[in-house]
Structure 1
Amino acid sequence: MNWHSWAAIAVFVTAYAAIISERVHRTAAALTGAAAMLAIGATDDKAAFFDEHSGIDWNVIFLLLGMMAIVGVLRQTGLFEYVAIWAVKRARGRPFRVMTMLIVITAAASALLDNVTTVLLIAPVTLLVCERLALPAAPFLIAEVLASNIGGTATLVGDPPNIIIASRAGLTFNDFLVHLAPLAAVLTVVLAVMCRLMFRKLFVYDEERAAEVMALEEREAIRDRRLLYQGLAVLALVVVGFVAHPVLHYAPSVVALLGAGLLIAMSTVRADEALKEVEWPTLAFFAGLFVMVGALIETGVIGEVSRALADATGGSRLGATMLLVFGSAVLSGIVDNIPYVATMAPITADLAHGFGGGHGTQVLWWALALGADLGGNATAIGASANVVVLGIAERNRQPISFWQFTKYGLVVTAVTVALSAAYLWLRYFALA
């Protein structure tokens, strides 16, 4: 590695340390780090803004922008208050039942939508539920993020890294459904049990608060029925667009922007009112993070790390599988899993080719997907959904610190990745 590589590592480590120390706002740290990468020549304007491998992932940025605008319109209808009251009443005000319900809903929705869209829709409901029951929102939001990343592993559209893997490996929606959905369902149950243990001090039943909520009529929360129907119709079209990606060939970002534009055009909501709900600091944070990680790609740092992982397999398919799942889990907790998978996909393809290709090497792709998707739970910036929820929490004056998230995320990641490794060994080696 040359001096550019070492300088890029120094900038990234410094920015990362600033983010986790929380002495500097994460957006300021990421943008300063990105500026430093450009200043030292570790990347340039073409690579940072236009390169699909090492630049800002505009698909992610505009997907978030479109969905945030749609959520901004839906918020004005009273839909989130309706769902919050409905959920609490079905759980009869019991905090653990509420959390379990939200975990299951989030995981299931993340398999059909992408996990970022899901947390954008679920987080406002969660904040209202916690307000009604006088509960701290942070544990519920953390549990939902963890559930979204687990549920997102189940399908091709559930997590952005899966789309990259499917494109590179020629895998279909049904391939993901058959090979990863059963495991995702089991891991969702495991998460619910772990949350019961991790947040056990939280689950204090307040009979008076519960009685107040049980007396509410959720239909009264709806403030604008016409806007609600318009918003739900557009949201349904967006979901169809996501699921029909293999047929329509519209990127999720394009679908989200079309949906946002259509909803604003057909409703009485002004554009500036819809855009007020956009988490602009979160989008800027993503841009800075993409530039920093892109600089590591441009200088060959991530490539060197990935090749070292590949060289350490020792010619064993089982060894390669285990190294991919555990190595990807560790690295995806440090850098966002989208650019990591974009870098690792061609190396995984080379590995699969070296083992002869064919159906028997699909396990390498499942190992990469599981490691990257579940590893994103390890830290507060390991996956896009994590960053989005932290931004929403901060905006609603319920801040979640880097370490508050990470101390739970690391435990869940360790357990779920270990179970995934056991699943891969059992299904594709022991019983093959």
Structure 2
Amino acid sequence: MTAVAVAIFVGAYVLLVTEKVDRTKVALGGAALMLLLGITDAEHAFFSGETGIEWNVIFLLLGMMVIVSVLRRSGVFEYVAIWTAKRTRGRPYPLMVTMCVLTATASALLDNVTTILLVAPVTFLVCQRLGLRPEPYLMAEVFASNIGGAATLVGDPPNIIIAARADLSFNDFLVNLTPIVIVLMAAFCLLCRWMFRSYFVYDPERAASVMRLNEREAITDRILLVKALSVLALVLLGFVLHPVLHYEPSVVALLGAGLLLLITDVETSDAMREVEWPTLAFFGGLFIMVGGLVEAGVVDRIATALADATEGRLGLATMVLLGGSAVLSAIVDNIPYVATMSPIVSELAAGHGDEGHVLWWALALGADLGGNATAIGASANVVALGIAAREGHPIGFWQFTKYGLVVTAVTVALCVPYLWLRYF
């Protein structure tokens, strides 16, 4: 069954890369084959926390999509778009840097998917105002969200898995990963100047027209705005207090969505109409396919091979783990990869005492940053591409990946001297 599972996944991946078949059809078709051929079953696909659909991700997305749908009706995204454009005086590169820094900062406190759901509407509006192509800005924000999410325990789901397995605290992540994330963001902002240089076309007339706008006039329903922002603040507080309250982000998001629909006049059907249902279905199919690889032992074999290749040398193990995690997380979702790799890293780390903690930081950085490499490497990537397609600005697999590979290569390479100089 191992060869069949690999064949199904590779076949689906080829179809995703060529973009000749809708990605949701590909993911659901691949999942159906995994179930039909008995590589996985309903019990593992729908109810297993390790090899099944990551329902926490699905319902987190659903809840936040509903909240964003209601919030959009207040005009607040238009307000933020005009405010941001005016602060950067309509200049394309400063605008991108500002949006990326805001995105990375938000992703350190929230999960990166939630951040993209909040930032994407603003991006399309500000680009429309300034006559800019939104695709490079949205891609840059996705890269920034994955980089920023590596800084804290709650920023990226793999970090939560690592923290639980290694008994690490919020402050452990803050002290060990935040310094390198700041360096990576500085390098990334410089990299954007080169990667997207052809898109930075300044239109002085559009910039001048934006400067004359009054952003306060964009707010169309102040009562709805107050209610929506109050609920959103409670939801964000619930995310931040996850280590204390122990409520999953998905539960917090669903509670927030339900409360917001309850206290406003927005029709449920109207709010649900803007939910990215194809994206949610794509995630479901992708999780089942990756779960099939885990069930067939493919991911475990690769992880064990990485561990065996290091032969007990901590420095080599750290670098192999960093690079290997980046490569594998670009191909399969980093959540099941980290869940599979964590027990192996735990054994390796235990054999080196306190010094072995560096392996956890290598795993976190590799998995989080490797997600930038391809269009399906991280949940935020998939969500962003779904939103872009809905807004009429589709981003192709290779269009995203050609930039993502550069960002991943540069950021992972910068982690090498950081890990070596700080821990060896």
TM-score (ref. length: structure 2): 0.99
Structure 1 residue 316 corresponds to structure 2 residue 313: yes
Q: Specify the code of the residue in structure 2 equivalent to 1:25.
A: D
Structure 1 residue 403 corresponds to structure 2 residue 398: yes
- Given that 1:71 and 1:277 are in contact with CA atoms closer than 8 Å, whether structure 2 keeps it comes out as no
2:374: which partner in 1?
379
2:180: which partner in 1?
183
2:266: which partner in 1?
269
Once the two structures are TM-superposed, the CA of residue 205 in structure 1 deviates from its matched residue by 1.2
Once the two structures are TM-superposed, the CA of residue 270 in structure 1 deviates from its matched residue by 1.3
Distance in 2 (CA, whole Å) between partners of 1:10 and 1:255 is 38
1:393: which partner in 2?
388
2:49: which partner in 1?
52
- Given that 1:42 and 1:299 are in contact with CA atoms closer than 8 Å, whether structure 2 keeps it comes out as yes
- Given that 1:133 and 1:210 are in contact with CA atoms closer than 8 Å, whether structure 2 keeps it comes out as yes
Q: Specify the code of the residue in structure 1 equivalent to 2:114.
A: T
Distance in 2 (CA, whole Å) between partners of 1:227 and 1:294 is 41
Once the two structures are TM-superposed, the CA of residue 204 in structure 1 deviates from its matched residue by 1.7
Comparing 36-45 with 272-281, which one deviates more in the overlay?
272-281
Distance in 2 (CA, whole Å) between partners of 1:350 and 1:287 is 31
Once the two structures are TM-superposed, the CA of residue 351 in structure 1 deviates from its matched residue by 1.1
Once the two structures are TM-superposed, the CA of residue 314 in structure 1 deviates from its matched residue by 1.4
Distance in 2 (CA, whole Å) between partners of 1:13 and 1:120 is 29
Deviation per CA, 1:251-274: give whole Å up to 9, x if none. Answer: 011011111111111111111111
Q: What SS does structure 2 have at the residue aligned with 1:333? A: helix
2:69: which partner in 1?
72
Distance in 2 (CA, whole Å) between partners of 1:310 and 1:386 is 29
Q: What SS does structure 2 have at the residue aligned with 1:269? A: coil
CA RMSD of superposed structures (Å): 0.7
- Given that 1:33 and 1:292 are in contact with CA atoms closer than 8 Å, whether structure 2 keeps it comes out as yes
1:348: which partner in 2?
345
Deviation per CA, 1:56-97: give whole Å up to 9, x if none. Answer: 000000001111110000010101000000000000010001
Q: Specify the code of the residue in structure 1 equivalent to 2:63.
A: G
Q: What SS does structure 2 have at the residue aligned with 1:256? A: helix
Deviation per CA, 1:107-166: give whole Å up to 9, x if none. Answer: 000001111000000000000011011111110001000000000000011011111111
Distance in 2 (CA, whole Å) between partners of 1:224 and 1:53 is 44
- Given that 1:11 and 1:36 are in contact with CA atoms closer than 8 Å, whether structure 2 keeps it comes out as yes
Structure 1 residue 236 corresponds to structure 2 residue 233: yes
Distance in 2 (CA, whole Å) between partners of 1:57 and 1:216 is 44
**Count of residues paired in the alignment:** 424
For residues 27-426 of structure 1, the aligned pairs below 5 Å read: 27-355=24-352, 357=353, 359-426=354-421
Q: Specify the code of the residue in structure 1 equivalent to 2:201.
A: V
Distance in 1 (CA, whole Å) between partners of 2:73 and 2:299 is 44
Comparing 46-55 with 201-210, which one deviates more in the overlay?
201-210
Listed as ranges, the gaps of 5+ residues in structure 1 are: none
Once the two structures are TM-superposed, the CA of residue 413 in structure 1 deviates from its matched residue by 0.2
- Given that 1:165 and 1:341 are in contact with CA atoms closer than 8 Å, whether structure 2 keeps it comes out as yes
Once the two structures are TM-superposed, the CA of residue 354 in structure 1 deviates from its matched residue by 2.5
Deviation per CA, 1:194-236: give whole Å up to 9, x if none. Answer: 0000111111211000011111100000011011111111111
2:9: which partner in 1?
12
Q: Specify the code of the residue in structure 1 equivalent to 2:279.
A: T
